[in-house]
Amino acid sequence: MTRVIITAVVGMILSAGIGYLLLPILRALKAGQSIREVGPTWHNKKAGTPMMGGLMFIFAAILCLVGNLVAGVMENKTVLYVLGLALCFGLVGFLDDFFKLKYKRNLGLTSIQKALLQMAVSALYLYILYQQDVLVTRLYIPFFKTVTGEINLFVYLFFAMFVMVGCVNAVNLTDGVDGLCGTVTIPVMIFFTAAAVAQEQYDLALLPAALAGGLIAYLFYNWHPAKVFMGDTGSLFLGGVICALAFALNMPIILILIGFVYICETLSVILQVGYFKLTHGKRLFKMSPIHHHFEMCGWKEVKIVVVFSLVSALMCVLAWFGIN
């Protein structure tokens, strides 16, 4: 447990230090964000804010795990598979960010390109877990303290890929207001740290612990008004960590609770698009994802961040009681 706490503190220090060095480099490279043409008009002033700031907590997490590995105190290598998956998702996000910067537009990879890459990465991760006898084709049901019977492998893999790709993109949608994705995700990382410790999988607790600390440091740079954005590099990496941990700990259904905010963001987009098509031009929300709806209703960015993060924290507490 002491090692987990130390890792969280070191993750925060490393993330802060990396951010201090990274920000001038991103500015020198003119790695500025392009603002969505259909977004709130007042977001236009954010154009040019450096992106790819997610690299600070990504590198911090990698260094924390490498440090534990070199020290010879890591026995469960599953955490390395989790990190590998997250890095692959982060790479997809990096490519997306790179093309945005190269072509000076808000669209990088196409939706089909991202979906195919994400499905391929998810399938590879699930295959590795299955080969290492880590993947369990039974679903743990929170609160009922029970598990389902064995599910057909191919059915389970299809379900798992759907959940993973959906989870990653849901986290990505949440990154639309200064500080939002980071603050919403901190309670999720704390939950996974506690859940891994409760299962006595201390090595698996190291990554979410490092990221909890890393995200706290990141918020010093991303809190409104943001000096840097995490970009798809950071948000897809975080989504990868979340879904990978859920399956590594054999509790994917818990994502409904701890990912409540992410799910609401995604559903708001789906409902908005569906309602728009059904009514031939009418809108259910003033703007989607839903954090933009609250912005259009007059909420300040800080208020949105505080309320959404409190909801995330409360749902994580509820999830904790669901598994204990």
Does residue 268 lie in a domain region? no
Q: Which two tokens stand for residue 81?
A: 């598979």
Does residue 300 lie in a domain region? no
3-state secondary structure of 288: coil
Determine the Cα–Cα distance for residues 132 and 113; give it in Å rounded to an integer. Answer: 29
Question: What does pLDDT average to over the chain?
Answer: 89
135-148 residue pLDDT tens? 888 888 888 878 88
Residue 26's pLDDT is 86
Does residue 299 lie in a domain region? no
- Per DSSP bridges, beta strands 140-141 and 146-147 are antiparallel
Which residues form the domain of 156?
A: 2-256
Give the DSSP H/E element, type plus range, for residue 44: none
Does residue 232 lie in a domain region? yes
Determine the Cα–Cα distance for residues 33 and 52; give it in Å rounded to an integer. Answer: 9
**Residue 253 CB partners (closer than 8 Å, separation 6+):** 139, 140, 141, 142
3-state secondary structure of 146: strand
pLDDT band at 43 (very low <50, low <70, confident <90, very high): low
Does residue 50 lie in a domain region? yes
Q: Which of 142, 125, 150, 158 is nearest to 256 (CA)?
A: 142
Does residue 280 lie in a domain region? no
Please give the single-letter amino acid code of residue 151.
I
Residue 246's pLDDT is 94
Between the ranges 33-37, 71-75, 269-273, where is the mean pLDDT highest?
269-273
Residue 186's pLDDT is 97
| Predicted model pTM | 0.93
225-278 residue pLDDT tens? 889 999 899 999 999 999 999 999 989 999 999 999 999 999 999 999 999 989
Determine the Cα–Cα distance for residues 56 and 228; give it in Å rounded to an integer. Answer: 11
Residue 150's pLDDT is 86
pLDDT band at 75 (very low <50, low <70, confident <90, very high): confident
Does residue 294 lie in a domain region? no
How many domains does the chain fold into? 1
C-alpha distances (whole Å) from 143 to each of 15, 43, 98, 319, 324 are 36, 42, 43, 9, 8
Does residue 314 lie in a domain region? no
Determine the Cα–Cα distance for residues 205 and 324; give it in Å rounded to an integer. Answer: 17
Q: How many helices (H) and strands (E) does the chain have?
A: 12, 2
